[in-house]
Structure 1
């Protein structure tokens, strides 16, 4: 009687042990989708940060041309324009670096 009780107890504990390892081996639903979205976001982020640098460069060129044009036309109060265009370019250029550090995404 004691031997069969121990045998049944051992069989039940082994059954519970092996059934628990099977459930831990499975991933919860949706984990693969989250990993796909993470890789998509990293690729989109790199493209958008490069677009931010390109827009900053174009903005700098346009601002430089406008300031140069106003200076050649004889407008001597161009300090505000220089500061505003330089600030816009600096903001767009640093935004890509700031966001890459914030989201831990390399710019490569």
Structure 2
């Protein structure tokens, strides 16, 4: 009985130590993700700028060629640019980084 109690006590101590190591790992991962978050948000803004420039050139070309679906292309281009900017801004404010 004494051996069983000793074994269960050591097992409990081992579980507590492992849980503390797990918490430290989670905290370290959270810190690393937060450090990359600003860079990721800036990357989303940069991608939005590139998509905006490419889309503007595409719309300008279609407009000069007189193609009838210019409005559709312009609205989808504008919508994708707005979406990228809004998502980056909302994520930045939501996570408080």
For normalisation by structure 1, the TM-score amounts to: 0.66
Please report the RMSD computed on the Cα atoms of aligned residues, expressed in angstroms.
Answer: 1.7
**Deviations 1:5-57, CA, capped at 9 Å, x for gaps:** xxxxxxxxxxxxxxxxxxxxxx9332322221111001222111111111100
- 2:65 is equivalent to residue 69 of structure 1: no
Structure 1 or 2: more helix by fraction:
2
For normalisation by structure 2, the TM-score amounts to: 0.72
Give the number of equivalent residue pairs. 79
Q: Give the Cα–Cα distance (whole angstroms) in 1 for the partners of residues 42 and 70 of structure 2.
A: 30
Question: Which residue of 72, 89, 93 corresponds with 1:97?
Answer: 89
Q: Which ranges in structure 1 are unaligned for 5 or more consecutive residues? A: 1-26
Larger Rg: 1
